[in-house]
Each structure stands twice: as structure tokens, then as C-alpha cells.
Amino acid sequence: QVQLVESGGGLVQTGGSLRLSCAASGRTFSSYVMGWFRQAPGKEREFVAAIMWSAGITTYADSMKGRFTISRDNVKNTVYLQMNSLKPEDTAVYYCAAKSIPVLYRTVDSYNYWGQGTQVTVSS
């Protein structure tokens, strides 16, 4: 059974940085795509970034390009989301997701494994 556990969320001021981690277990993830999504109060869950685990190829939502970086550590079986220049509108619960097909999916319903989420709050 795939398990995804996020960590690293917290409270940060505008312009600050955070690094989220997603510890993955239960499978060999070399043929997986891993994604980060976020959901703000009263809004739908939205795509942030994704990475093909084996090839390391990435894709980002336009509003995150240049500020967020997704990466993975094959030894630790962990996916990261480095977030810089944070804004109050980045405040949300951030979720890690996985799909056992190495395609850079960008939609919520493409992923079949989800973590519990980690809260990120950016104060103005």
C-alpha cells in the first residue's frame, strides 16, 4: 500500500521560504509521477508541480514557476517542494500525490494516492 506523509508546513512571513517534504513508502516509485497540489479555504484543490520520479522531468503551474521547485531524493524516497518568495495567496493545505504511470499529470483526478496534507500559512 502506497503511503505518502507530508511535513514541513508552518507559518512564514511574506517573502519567506519553506521546504515541504513528502516521504513515500510501500512501492518502488521509479515508474511513478509525484505531484504537489494545494487547497485554500473555500477553493478547489489546484495543481502546483509534478515530477517524473525516474527521469526527474518536472512541470509547474504558471503562477509557481520561478518561485517553487520540485525535486526528489531516490535514496530517501522523498519528494520535496521548495517554496521561495511566498505570498499570502500561497496560504493553503499542500498535498502530495502519486500515480503509477510516468506521465506529468496536472489534474486532481489523475492521481490515485494522496497524503494527509500540511498547512502553509503566509502572513502579510
pLDDT tens, position by position, 104-117: 999 999 999 999 99
User: Each residue of 10-69: pLDDT tens digit?
Assistant: 999 999 999 999 999 999 998 999 999 999 999 999 999 999 999 999 999 998 989 999
Task: Spell out the residues 6+ positions from residue 68 whose beta carbon is closer than 8 angstroms to its own.
Answer: 36, 48, 49, 60, 81, 82, 83, 84
User: Each residue of 81-91: pLDDT tens digit?
Assistant: 999 999 999 99
The DSSP secondary-structure symbol of 66 reads: T
